[in-house]
A and B are shown apart, each in its own frame.
Chain A
Amino acid sequence: GWGQQKAAGDSPSPRQSVRKNLEFEPLSTTALILEHRPANLPAKPAEEAEKHQQQYEEMVAQAKKRELREAQKRKKQLEDRVKQEENIGNAALTWSQEILPNWTTMCSSKRVKELWWQGVPPSVRGRVWSLAIGNDLNITHELYDICLARAKERWNASSAPSTTTDTDTGDAGSSHADREASLELIKLDISRTFPSLCIFQKGGPYHDVLHSILGAYTCYRPDVGYVQGMSFIAAVLILNMHTADAFIAFANLLNKPCQMAFYRVDHSLMLTYFAAFEVFFEENLPKLFAHFKSNNLTPDIYLIDWIFTLYSKSLPLDVACRVWDVFCRDGEEFLFRTALGILRLYEDVLTHMDFIHNAQFLTRLPEHINAHTLFSSIAAVSMSCRNRKWTQVLHTLQKDPERASPVLKR
């Protein structure tokens, strides 16, 4: 019956909700309206009967109209979806047959750049990211296997009962403890990476892959080690490419100057990035900038999470992937441009809130952010300040650390 139908559907269709309204009425409205009155009651006056007939016909006509409207809407939705799928299909074809085979000559062309901005189709996303991130570190699949094997040795060693820990002293001891702590932290964080997707958690299909990549990286770069936030980056890569390629992209991505500064927590360089961001913040959104300043809301409070996880924790995953697309095209500058796009999108709300409400808002962005709206907002952000581009501003600040954000310095 209808009750069952209602319970089964997550979102009731408009038609179902119309039906719901009729639940308390007899199954057939004809029975109610057109039937003559029972014999023991006086007959309906002709005028009333005619009125009822007319009302009934109006109801039927309206219902028919409504059904027609809904059918048209459904048809339109279907057409839109087909068109969208066609567009994605066409784009995927263009990417895989034209652009990817001629990557070096085509990747910087205007047409490709425009197509890139619109979002890389999921079917070629992994390959595009890999090519755009590059492999300056010359990591091979074999090197990944070696790093992984070493990581596995360590896991086994640490899970076996250890007799040396107690006698370990000095540097060797502390580095051993550090290693153990970082192994445990990886385990803990894997269970806390996109928990709602249920694919990286223990028993999930990508649990071991994520574990392997993070473990291999700590062997590849023991000087950097595992830092919280990395699990999100590795997870997004795993969703788009094969394990060894994901590792190569992961290591090369983290090797970029901005990511290295953050993941090694090079505090003075981080402050320089924040200061450069503030230059463009003031240029683009002077009113909001002043409001944040007077509330002592410094950029570190929201940027740290955004930059460390490349927005994968704070934006819906599909929107985050679109940010990654253009981040791969434009580099670190786009991360800060995205931040300004977010601030610009919510400028009105943000200018009317105090410190704590703003901090809460920015560290937990609305769940329904739409990619199209966000990208329109990002497009309106200018990354040129008094004729200086992002890199120029950053370099000037780097040369003169005194100009870095004074609020955060101790």
Chain B
Amino acid sequence: MAKQYDVLFRLLLLGDSGVGKTCLLCRFTDNEFHPSHISTIGVDFKMKTLEIDGIKVRIQIWDTAGQERYQTITKQYYRRAQGIFLVYDITSERSFQHIMKWASDVDEYAPDKVQKILVGNKSDEEQKRQVATAQGNKLAKAYGMDFFETSAFTNHNITESFTRLAELVLQANKKDLDVLRVSINDKLNLAALEEEEGVCDSSSDAQKTCWC
């Protein structure tokens, strides 16, 4: 059986309850939109394989519950991520203010190399907007992050934002990746057996850092 992907990494969706994390994800992986979504309790999972610069990238996306109370639990997952979406809702000033809290938690708990982008969702609800695009831009700049306004409803900037974060993670791990690709070619027969942590184990044997 041919290996379905060359590299694998985890992306995490963070942000207040109701900003549309699950909807963004459903649009990205299944191209579906359900306005009355069921609440996420704990963490949910999706995956998708993208091709970036000829590399098959499988991304696992961890979709977390947004309520503050759950952060004790979800913080445990930060350190397993290579990329993080910080999501707010452009119709909710409060969800935007909370981005600072989310970002500082990420600094504290996620790996140093973690890549982040800022996402202002629900861009289709212009008449209810409370957060100007300029505010989002400014905050993203202050954190040195890329910024996207998205709409899961109209499918605006969804693929773009996911692909961008995937590219950033790929770039950040370029050095490891080159070594990894060599090792994949070397152990082509092993590759079929590798799954999930398997990739991690085989690369960490040869390397100082494990990035998946």
Which one, A194, A267, A294, contacts B72 given CB within 8 A? A267
Q: How far is the CA of A231 from the CA of B42 in the complex (A)?
A: 15
Decide if B45 touches A359 in the complex (CB within 8 Å). Answer: yes
Encode A209-235 as 1/0 by CB contact (under 8 A) with B: 000000000000000010111010000
Interface size class of B (residues with CB under 8 A): 20 to 34
What's the least CB distance linking B98 to chain A, in Å? 10
A229: chain B residues within 8 A (beta carbon): 39, 41
Decide if B196 touches A195 in the complex (CB within 8 Å). Answer: no
Tell me if A15 counts as interface (CB < 8 A to partner B): no
Q: How far is the CA of A194 from the CA of B60 in the complex (A)?
A: 27
Decide if A192 touches B41 in the complex (CB within 8 Å). Answer: no
| Interface-lining segment among A81-89, A113-121, A298-306 | A298-306
Encode B69-104 as 1/0 by CB contact (under 8 A) with A: 110110010000000000000000010000000000
B60: chain A residues within 8 A (beta carbon): 355-356
A364: chain B residues within 8 A (beta carbon): 44
Quick one: closest B residue to A188, CB to CB?
B18
Quick one: closest A residue to B98, CB to CB?
A181
Q: How far is the CA of A301 from the CA of B45 in the complex (A)?
A: 10
Decide if A355 touches B41 in the complex (CB within 8 Å). Answer: no
Q: How far is the CA of A225 from the CA of B39 in the complex (A)?
A: 17
What's the least CB distance linking A392 to chain B, in Å? 27
B94: chain A residues within 8 A (beta carbon): 181
Decide if A265 touches B17 in the complex (CB within 8 Å). Answer: no
Which one, B41, B44, B197, contacts A296 given CB within 8 A? B197
What's the least CB distance linking B10 to chain A, in Å? 9
Decide if A295 touches B197 in the complex (CB within 8 Å). Answer: yes
Decide if A228 touches B17 in the complex (CB within 8 Å). Answer: yes
A313: chain B residues within 8 A (beta carbon): 38, 41
Quick one: closest A residue to B92, CB to CB?
A184
Encode B10-53 as 1/0 by CB contact (under 8 A) with A: 00000001100000000000000000111101111111000000
What's the least CB distance linking A258 to chain B, in Å? 15
Tell me if B133 counts as interface (CB < 8 A to partner A): no
A294: chain B residues within 8 A (beta carbon): 197
Decide if A363 touches B17 in the complex (CB within 8 Å). Answer: no
Q: How far is the CA of A185 from the CA of B66 in the complex (A)?
A: 10
Tell me if B166 counts as interface (CB < 8 A to partner A): no
What's the least CB distance linking A234 to chain B, in Å? 13
B41: chain A residues within 8 A (beta carbon): 228-229, 304-305, 308-309, 313
What's the least CB distance linking B75 to chain A, in Å? 8
Tell me if B65 counts as interface (CB < 8 A to partner A): yes
Tell me if A245 counts as interface (CB < 8 A to partner B): no
Quick one: closest B residue to A298, CB to CB?
B76
Decide if B45 touches A356 in the complex (CB within 8 Å). Answer: yes
Decide if B36 touches A192 in the complex (CB within 8 Å). Answer: yes
A272: chain B residues within 8 A (beta carbon): none
Tell me if B126 counts as interface (CB < 8 A to partner A): no
Q: How far is the CA of A195 from the CA of B72 in the complex (A)?
A: 28
Decide if A193 touches B39 in the complex (CB within 8 Å). Answer: yes
Decide if B43 touches A228 in the complex (CB within 8 Å). Answer: no
- Using known A-B contacts A228-B17, A313-B38, determine if residue A360 contacts B70 with beta carbons closer than 8 Å: no
A408: chain B residues within 8 A (beta carbon): 76
Quick one: closest B residue to A264, CB to CB?
B69
Tell me if B154 counts as interface (CB < 8 A to partner A): no
Decide if A304 touches B17 in the complex (CB within 8 Å). Answer: no
Decide if B42 touches A304 in the complex (CB within 8 Å). Answer: yes
Decide if A354 touches B72 in the complex (CB within 8 Å). Answer: no
Interface centre among B38, B39, B45, B69 (most CB of A within 10 A): B39
Quick one: closest A residue to B61, CB to CB?
A356
A192: chain B residues within 8 A (beta carbon): 36-39
Tell me if A278 counts as interface (CB < 8 A to partner B): no
- Using known A-B contacts A300-B73, A301-B43, determine if residue A355 contacts B196 with beta carbons closer than 8 Å: yes
Decide if B73 touches A227 in the complex (CB within 8 Å). Answer: no
Tell me if B195 counts as interface (CB < 8 A to partner A): yes
B46: chain A residues within 8 A (beta carbon): 360
Decide if A363 touches B39 in the complex (CB within 8 Å). Answer: no
What's the least CB distance linking B11 to chain A, in Å? 12
B196: chain A residues within 8 A (beta carbon): 295-296, 354-356
Q: How far is the CA of A408 from the CA of B198 in the complex (A)?
A: 20
What's the least CB distance linking A320 to chain B, in Å? 14
Tell me if A189 counts as interface (CB < 8 A to partner B): yes
Decide if B67 touches A228 in the complex (CB within 8 Å). Answer: yes
Quick one: closest B residue to A301, CB to CB?
B43
A44: chain B residues within 8 A (beta carbon): none
Interface positions, chain A 156-192, Cβ under 8 Å from B, are: 181, 185, 188-189, 191-192
What's the least CB distance linking A236 to chain B, in Å? 14
A-B contacts, 18 of them at CB < 8 A, read: A185-B17, A188-B18, A192-B37, A194-B38, A228-B17, A229-B39, A295-B196, A300-B76, A301-B42, A304-B42, A304-B43, A313-B41, A354-B195, A354-B198, A356-B60, A360-B47, A363-B44, A408-B76
Q: A189-B17, A192-B39, A265-B73 are in contact. List 12 more A-B contacts (CB 8 A).
A: A195-B37, A201-B36, A228-B17, A228-B67, A228-B70, A295-B196, A304-B43, A355-B195, A355-B197, A356-B47, A359-B45, A408-B76
Give 9 nearest A-B pairs by CB, closest first.
Answer: A304-B42, A354-B195, A355-B196, A195-B36, A359-B45, A192-B39, A354-B196, A305-B41, A188-B18
